[in-house]
Each structure stands twice: as structure tokens, then as C-alpha cells.
Amino acid sequence: MFQRSLIIFAAIGGLLACQSEESDQPIVVVEPPIVVEAIEDTETQELHDTAETLPVRSYTDFLETVQTSPKTSSALFGYLDKDMPEFWDETTWDFYGMSRIPGEGEIACGYFVTTLLKDLGFQIDRIRLAQEPSGVMIEEFTVNIKKSNSLHQTLEAIRHGPDNAIYIIGLDFHTGFISHSAEGTFFIHSDYNGRRGVVREYAASSLALSQSGFFMIGNLTDSQAFLARWD
């Protein structure tokens, strides 16, 4: 029933982020503060791709480091490709999820995109853009926008584009980030399939990407206008 509802929603909604409003009544939401100390500094965790263990920073400490670091395209790539997805890893998906705390509560796909950008310090309307069709933020934030009805063509366009790039992608009823580097092309999103939430997975084998019949991508890291909004 859940998948059937999503397909119906996609057919009538077009390029909608998965958390767009269902009601004609406006949603009034008070933006909660970021209060994140879910991980203690004294703990350690094993890195996903090595056996090395390092002291774990809290999300708050990470964001404080971001604010005092150079704000460049390459820095943005690193934050969105691995740093932030590792904090948010497996935070549960929900259609109305809008958590500000990694690992706690739920987060919808559009809120995942806008929350990460807001937390990094970009001057954006996190709530409004999360509730809009994903094409709105792609048009507002990115450059070199492309549309296709083919996943293969979309991934080929990304692979032939610049390395160390972050894209925002809009699907029939879903949205997220695409990262591309020498390591590969990854889809970073809050996955509705099985409600598994935030994942970083190979784009070519992503179930969510394969379920879409429409693709809209825009390059975020190449947008100088967007980088100028980084406070």
C-alpha cells in the first residue's frame, strides 16, 4: 500500500520532494535550534572504510569547525560527500520528518537536503524549500541543470562532468545529493524504501533512483552564486 501511494503521488505531483504539503492549509512551523551533543567526545567509532579508530567529534563541534574553516567549493564537496552523511547515517526516514539532530527522530528527503545546507551556514529558507517541489531549490541553488527521463543518461552526464562535484537531484517524488569523484558516483539521501533513512550508496545500484522515471540535476559545487550565500 505504501509503494502504491507513492506512485499515485508521483503521477499527480510531478517533481515533488517527498515531504511536500498534502493539505491546502499552510504549515506553520517554528524552526527549532540546533542542540546536538548526541555523541560524546571521549567515545571512539570505527571508520566505515578503515580499521583505524579516531576520537569522535560531536555534530556541534563539527559545525563549529566548519564556521571557522575556508568556505570553498572543495570544502563543500568534502562536507556533503562524507562528513555530514556519516553523522546522519541511518537517521530514519518519515514523510513529515524534520529532525535537526543526527540519529534522533526522523527526516524526510527534502528536509535532509535543506537541513544539511542550513547547518553548514548557507542562508536559505530550510522549511519552505523542503516543502517545495525539489526543482525549485535546484533552480535556485545550482548551475548546469539537466533533465532526462533516463537514469543511464543522467549518470553518464555526471560521470562526464567535473570530479569532486556535488549535485542536487530531483526525481518523480524524491530528492537528495549526488556526489561524484574518482571514488565513484554516490546517491546521498533519506531513503523511503523500508524507511531506512539516510544512506550513501552507489548511484548505479540505488533502488530509489531506479524507481524514478524523471531526473533533474544541477551542479551545486560549481555555483558561485550559491557559494556566496555561505555565511
CB-based contacts of 212, cutoff 8 Å, min separation 6 = 10, 151, 171, 172, 173, 174
Rounded-to-integer distance, Cα 206 and Cα 19, Å = 20
Rounded CA separation 168/157 (Å): 14
3-state secondary structure of 184: strand
Determine which of 6-10, 30-34, 62-66, 85-89 has the lowest per-residue pLDDT on average: 6-10
pLDDT tens readout for residues 33-63: 444 444 333 333 333 444 454 556 899 999 9
Q: Are 231 and 185 in contact (CB under 8 A)?
A: no
pLDDT grade, residue 18 (50/70/90)?
low
- List the chain domain ranges: 2-20+56-227
pLDDT reported for residue 55: 55
Q: What is the crossing angle of helices 59-67 and 109-120, to 10°?
A: 50
Mean pLDDT of 4-10: 40
Mean pLDDT value of segment 137-149: 98
Rg of the chain taking only CA atoms, in angstroms: 17
**What DSSP designation does 170 have?**
E
Kindly state the percentage of the chain with pLDDT values over 70: 76
- Residues 95-117 have pLDDT tens digits of 999 999 999 999 999 999 999 99
β-pair type (175-181, 165-170): antiparallel
Calculate the alpha carbon distances from 119 to 19, 61, 219 in Å: 19, 12, 19
User: In the prediction, which pLDDT does 13 show?
Assistant: 41
- In the structure, what pLDDT confidence band is assigned to residue 32 with cuts at 50, 70 and 90? very low
Instruction: Please name the residue ranges forming H helices in the chain.
Output: 2-13, 59-67, 73-78, 84-88, 109-120, 126-131, 134-141, 151-159, 207-210, 224-227
> Look-up: residue for cell 523511503?
192
Q: Which three cell numbers stand for residue 5?
A: 501511494
How far the first Cα of the chain sits from its last, in Å, is 43
**Whole-Å CA distances, 204 to 24, 93, 150, 177, 201:** 37, 21, 12, 14, 9
CB distance 206 to 187 below 8 Å: yes
Q: In whole angstroms, how far apart are CA 171 and each of 33, 40, 218?
A: 30, 37, 12
Average pLDDT over residues 140-158: 98
**pLDDT, tens digit (0-9, with 9 covering 90-100), for 162-213:** 999 999 999 999 999 999 999 999 999 999 999 999 999 999 999 999 999 9
Question: How far is 60 from 36, CA to CA, in rounded Å?
Answer: 6
- Contacts for 210 with CB less than 8 Å, ≥ 6 apart: 151
